[in-house]
Structure 1
Amino acid sequence: MQKLKSIKLYFFSILKLFSLSFRNYYFTSRYYNKKLITFIPDRIFYNPGTHLSASLISASNDFYKITDTSPELLWKIGIQNKQKFENLHAFLWLAKLDRKNSKKVTKNIIASWIDNFFNYETNTWEMEVTAKRIISWASNTDITLEDSDKIYKKKFFLSLIKQSNFLVKNLNILFYDPSKIICCAAIILSGMIFKENDLNYKIGIRELEKNVKNYFDINGFPKSRNPEDVFISIKYLILIREWFKEAQKPIPDFLNDIIQKCGSCYLMLSCTNKQFPLFNGATEINHKDYDVFLKNLKYKFINKKNEIAGLIKIKKKKFEFFIDCGNPPSNNFTKNYQAGCLAFELISNKQKIICNSGYGKYLSSKLTLLSRSSAAHSTLYLNNTSSSIFQKNKIINKVYGNSLLQKHQIIKKTYADEKDFYFIEASHNGYENNFGYLHTRTIKALKKEDKIFGYDELKKTKSYSNPLVYFIRFHIYPNIKIVKTKAGNSVLISLLNGEAWILRSKTNSFNIEKNIFLGNKNKIINNESVYISGNVNAKDTVSVEWTIERID
């Protein structure tokens, strides 16, 4: 049955690729590009505050030193370096430029971009990139438009009209996700800056409301279960709201509601180290600058929940613990999903200790596939397989994204806040179909000490005749020093903040191996991982006990 579904999916993927190829051919035609120009505006009627779009890019983010670079040289950066290419053509870095000395060179760069890319081109007109470019150009008119001549103004306005109309005509191609929110934001803004474009304003709000209803769960968490999507979503939702306030336009109730709910999720994910946890497709996000932005605009969120979207958080003083006890998303939202069921991360005194490996989507397709595996997470796995099985066909994944052939299910989950400790227990059936075992992880975190008791159990539900090996991994955050003791059943962990921790096991010995950390968007970082392994040998139950605690 599974094979039949894959064949059907492969067939539809071929048809879809053919359709996409034809569509791209049509988009490059003179007829289509002429259709995108619906009117020629004379002026803009709303100038968004530059400080609002500046929130979309962190202060530490590298932006282009354009004053020393010829515009024509900039466009030679190829799509091979996808992140750099998209950052360049999105123009969000405009908000970080020196306002006094960059007017002339900024206009030269934009004029050069328009000369080279006025008509549709597949990569530079990718929808999210186009949306960010519209937002950036319109939000930095003090250097992109002010004091310009009539010829430049006409080119600038026509390009904005073409790009915004392109988004409106193709918005239904996108499924519900942060990219669609970004595109809705750009469409709304195009309707605010040009009064002739008022229809775009209405379309953008209508489509944004649809996206909110279909993309977020009841708690305001994206259905992808990806923490990074929370960060992207809240930034653009608040950006839209601030535009409405600035332009003295009514703020829709649905927008206020989702900002409060999504903001509560943002608060739950926020940590003392100013980074979101690495689960379900997230890369490292530093939210320090955005926290300042929210404070300046007087946004205050409230969160009283210890669990949202299957992610459970324990927080006490300087100690923070996250564990993923959730099911995989539905097929429409698995694009960046990772098989990290029952994986955890641990932070002490602003320093992450145990982590997951991150997601390699910005680095390479091979690293993306590797980082989806359960082995890339601080959890248990069997025979080098993952708790959920991914589609590996490149053509299917190119069309439908990261789809799943087999999904685990959480079959038991308990959380308790007792007098002296926090207690979490969860089980999943991800290995039952192939190997006949259920995995249960139990966590007991003491309140008066920085100590966690961990217990992993494999319980047999049916026979499996072939050899079966289990692994339990503890990925160590980069630049942390670890040493295995002579006895082999404990590992000393030395943190950069001066703390010392020890990982122990009563039942097993530890091994240490070199590893790679993929949480950084720009580069691969070396780190180490500690692991326990053993043979299952058809036992009815396999139990592994471990503890991790801070030592003086």
Structure 2
Amino acid sequence: MEGQSQTEKRDANKSTGRWINGQSNVSERLASFLRLPNSLIFQKIGYKLKYPLLISPLYNWVISRKAIPNLVFTPTDPWLGDTNQGRAILSGQIELSGQVINNPSPLWNPVGAELDWVKELHSFSWLRSLRAAAGDQARRTAREMLNQWIRDNNRWRPLTWEPSITGCRLYNWLGHYEFIGSSADINLRQSIHDSIAKQARYLSSTLPAGLTGVELIRAIKGLLYAGVCLPEGDVWLKRALDLLSQELTRQILPDGGHIQRSPHIHLEVLRHLIDIRATLHTGKKHVPGSIVSAIESMSPVLRMFLHGDGGLALFNDSNEDHGWQIDMVLRRAEGRKQPLLAAPQSGFQRLQSGRITVIVDAGAPPPPGYDLTAHAGTLSFELSVGRERLITNCGVHRNHPQWRWIPRATAAHTTVTLAETNSAHLTPRGGLAKRPDNVTCRREEDSNGEIRLEMSHDGYLNKSGILHDRTLIALPKGEGIKGNDILRFSESLDERDRHEFSGRFHLHSDVKASPISGGNVVLLSLQKGGGWQFSCEGANLSLEPSVYLGKAGEIRRSQQIVLSGITSTSDTKIKWSLIRVNTKKSTSKNNQSNLWDQ
């Protein structure tokens, strides 16, 4: 791959197992489509069948029929932008979705632009960064670009008017109206108002348009903003609130988690709901109780996903994100200040012991239609000590062709991989063809402060006849954790049914790992001086290369501890422990055995 060394390619393959085929064919796309719920299939087909109407001059005339002289309300976008990105845009350098294009021409679909770059450009999410750059030049540039968009793109096109992108564009235009439109000349303001109304009529007539999850929330938010801000918007507001009420019932689980099971998406949806609540309130519109309840229930789950450094855990297409942005969301949510410890419907658990935090994916993958960002990481976990991450998943690099898909593999997560295959069948276009059907989790806490999770999944049952059981125990007072992984046969098997296994423990890029005791134990050192000792029984221990993609847009080399072996014809048991170096239990092999046997 261009720009990537052979060493990095080898590291990628070692850290994630088999390559995920990035190509897609017609049969795969059709099979993926048919796995969707029937109602969603009909919605998608219905929207596609509207294409001849949407592109017709008659439809363009219908949604352009009435001029809008003024807005009745202008919301304020409260989030901080990237000043450096804003200044780069002013100099003609536009970086979106990891791709940089200098002086793009034609502006709205330049030669060489990746699809994600084009989508983000047309969403106008970068307006926040131009605003952060401040000054008259930033304001003039924003106006010129918006005015040019209206001239060049004011008729429906399948990509640039895709409902989710249109929704983003509406709430970004309206949220930055004071920045771009309030002091503009009357002709530009009239063009902006009319284009907003035109796009709102289109959204109202087409939603839900086969969208699900966060993409549908974005589209609904744009329609709702138009409904609050435009004088004829009551019908759009009602339509948006009806759709939102339905989606909150579908998407927000009883424990407050989002159905897509991604910390990154959970954060985004919560942020959209906070914006919607504020816009309704300041626009003197009724705020439905369902929105308030969703915000209140999602806030503790967001805290559940946070490590001690304030960043997100790396499950299902998530990066750390910026801690200060997460803190802003939590302050504006005004919810409960403590994290949720167990989210059974969402399938996540949090173990807290002293300075140790363990966050565990203990649930089944999201259902079809909500699984485009799902990873094959069932029963994986992450561990941090204070503000330092120690054990992680690999993360994701959304804007890099290879690193966008490889980290979805089971081998990119801190869990057990069987025969270098995935516990869920990943499809090249996103989503899961097959998944664990039965994922269980039982949590116990005793009076001494020990916390135990007993979990299992059957993702390898059909392929190999094997169930994966995992027990995690957080020891009292932050002394460490111990684990027990069992590869359990569902029926009697012979020598021909034995498989290679690898239990991986990906280390953060700042962690130093050194083999000791003849390579049977690994000493782990944190930057701030903390020492931890990892040891195991029932497998061969080795240190191998890995990658850390937790910081958005960065690829860092790291290491992973790998526990490897071959399954036996009976249950295969792998015992391991991670103990603080200065505890007596970390210096005695006999004491470690006692720990495992408790």
TM-score normalised by L of structure 2: 0.82
CA distance in 2, matches of 1:351, 1:174: 41
CA distance in 1, matches of 2:523, 2:406: 28
Are 2:572 and 1:536 aligned?
Answer: no
Are 2:322 and 1:300 aligned?
Answer: no
Are 2:110 and 1:81 aligned?
Answer: no
Tell me the equivalent position of 1:385.
421
CA distance in 2, matches of 1:489, 1:150: 75
Tell me the equivalent position of 2:365.
328
Match among 31, 47, 61 for residue 9 of structure 1: 31
Tell me the equivalent position of 2:434.
405
2:423 partner SS? coil
Tell me the equivalent position of 1:427.
456
CA distance in 2, matches of 1:163, 1:446: 56
CA distance in 1, matches of 2:503, 2:84: 36
Equivalent position amino acid for 1:460 in 2: F
**Residue 436 to residue 165, structure 1, CA distance change in 2 (3 Å):** same
Tell me the equivalent position of 1:551.
581
Shift of 1:343: 0.6
Tell me the equivalent position of 2:548.
517
Tell me the equivalent position of 2:68.
41
CA distance in 2, matches of 1:237, 1:381: 38
2:379 partner SS? coil
Residue pair 2:300, 2:335 contacting (<8 A) in 1 also: no
Are 2:88 and 1:65 aligned?
Answer: yes
Residue pair 1:99, 1:143 contacting (<8 A) in 2 also: no
Residue pair 2:354, 2:476 contacting (<8 A) in 1 also: no
CA distance in 2, matches of 1:405, 1:437: 16
**Residue 71 to residue 137, structure 1, CA distance change in 2 (3 Å):** farther
**Residue 50 to residue 369, structure 1, CA distance change in 2 (3 Å):** closer
Equivalent position amino acid for 2:524 in 1: I
* 1:498-513 matched pairs, under 5 angstroms: 498-513=529-544
Are 2:444 and 1:444 aligned?
Answer: no
Could you give the per-residue CA deviations for residues 59-94 of structure 1, whole angstroms, max 9, x where no partner exists? 588446333226856535568534443333322332
Equivalent position amino acid for 2:558 in 1: N
Tell me the equivalent position of 2:160.
124
**Residue 443 to residue 18, structure 1, CA distance change in 2 (3 Å):** closer
Could you give the per-residue CA deviations for residues 400-451 of structure 1, whole angstroms, max 9, x where no partner exists? x513224341245333244141111112222222222221111121122431
* 1:84-99 matched pairs, under 5 angstroms: 84-96=117-129, 97=131, 98-99=133-134
* 1:27-426 matched pairs, under 5 angstroms: 27-51=54-78, 54=79, 62-63=85-86, 65-69=88-92, 74-75=107-108, 77=110, 80-96=113-129, 97=131, 98-101=133-136, 102-292=138-328, 294-295=330-331, 297=332, 299-303=334-338, 305-308=340-343, 309-364=346-401, 366-390=402-426, 392=427, 397=429, 401-411=430-440, 413-426=442-455
Equivalent position amino acid for 2:66 in 1: F
Shift of 1:475: 0.9
Are 2:509 and 1:478 aligned?
Answer: yes
Shift of 1:44: 0.7
Match among 455, 465, 471 for residue 484 of structure 2: 455
Residue pair 2:381, 2:414 contacting (<8 A) in 1 also: yes
CA distance in 1, matches of 2:551, 2:574: 32
CA distance in 2, matches of 1:37, 1:282: 40
* Unaligned stretches of 5+ residues in structure 2: 1-26, 36-40, 93-102, 583-598
Residue pair 2:310, 2:326 contacting (<8 A) in 1 also: no
Shift of 1:336: 1.6
Could you give the per-residue CA deviations for residues 184-206 of structure 1, whole angstroms, max 9, x where no partner exists? 11111101111112211111111
Shift of 1:208: 0.5
Equivalent position amino acid for 2:566 in 1: N
Deviates more, 1:237-246 or 1:475-484: 475-484
CA distance in 1, matches of 2:361, 2:248: 24
Identity level (%)? 21
* Unaligned stretches of 5+ residues in structure 1: none
RMSD between superposed Cα atoms in Å: 2.9
**Residue 253 to residue 138, structure 1, CA distance change in 2 (3 Å):** same
Residue pair 1:490, 1:509 contacting (<8 A) in 2 also: no
1:263 partner SS? helix
Could you give the per-residue CA deviations for residues 171-221 of structure 1, whole angstroms, max 9, x where no partner exists? 121343112112111111101111112211111111110110111111221
**Residue 113 to residue 284, structure 1, CA distance change in 2 (3 Å):** same
Equivalent position amino acid for 2:163 in 1: M
Deviates more, 1:261-270 or 1:299-308: 299-308
Could you give the per-residue CA deviations for residues 337-380 of structure 1, whole angstroms, max 9, x where no partner exists? 1111111100112111111112354322x544422221111001
Residue pair 2:507, 2:558 contacting (<8 A) in 1 also: yes
CA distance in 2, matches of 1:81, 1:498: 43
**Residue 6 to residue 150, structure 1, CA distance change in 2 (3 Å):** closer
Equivalent position amino acid for 1:402 in 2: G
**Residue 68 to residue 332, structure 1, CA distance change in 2 (3 Å):** closer
1:492 partner SS? strand
Tell me the equivalent position of 2:3.
none
Residue pair 1:71, 1:112 contacting (<8 A) in 2 also: no
Could you give the per-residue CA deviations for residues 78-135 of structure 1, whole angstroms, max 9, x where no partner exists? 6853444333332233234244423222211211222222222333323222212211
**Residue 317 to residue 162, structure 1, CA distance change in 2 (3 Å):** farther
2:477 partner SS? coil
**Residue 66 to residue 232, structure 1, CA distance change in 2 (3 Å):** same
**Residue 409 to residue 149, structure 1, CA distance change in 2 (3 Å):** same
CA distance in 2, matches of 1:405, 1:231: 27
Match among 515, 527, 538 for residue 496 of structure 1: 527
Deviates more, 1:326-335 or 1:467-476: 326-335
User: Does 1 or 2 have the higher relative contact order (CA < 8 Å, sep 6+)?
Assistant: 2
TM-score normalised by L of structure 1: 0.88
CA distance in 2, matches of 1:298, 1:214: 21
CA distance in 1, matches of 2:473, 2:460: 24
CA distance in 2, matches of 1:355, 1:254: 35
- Number of residue equivalences: 534
**Residue 316 to residue 38, structure 1, CA distance change in 2 (3 Å):** farther
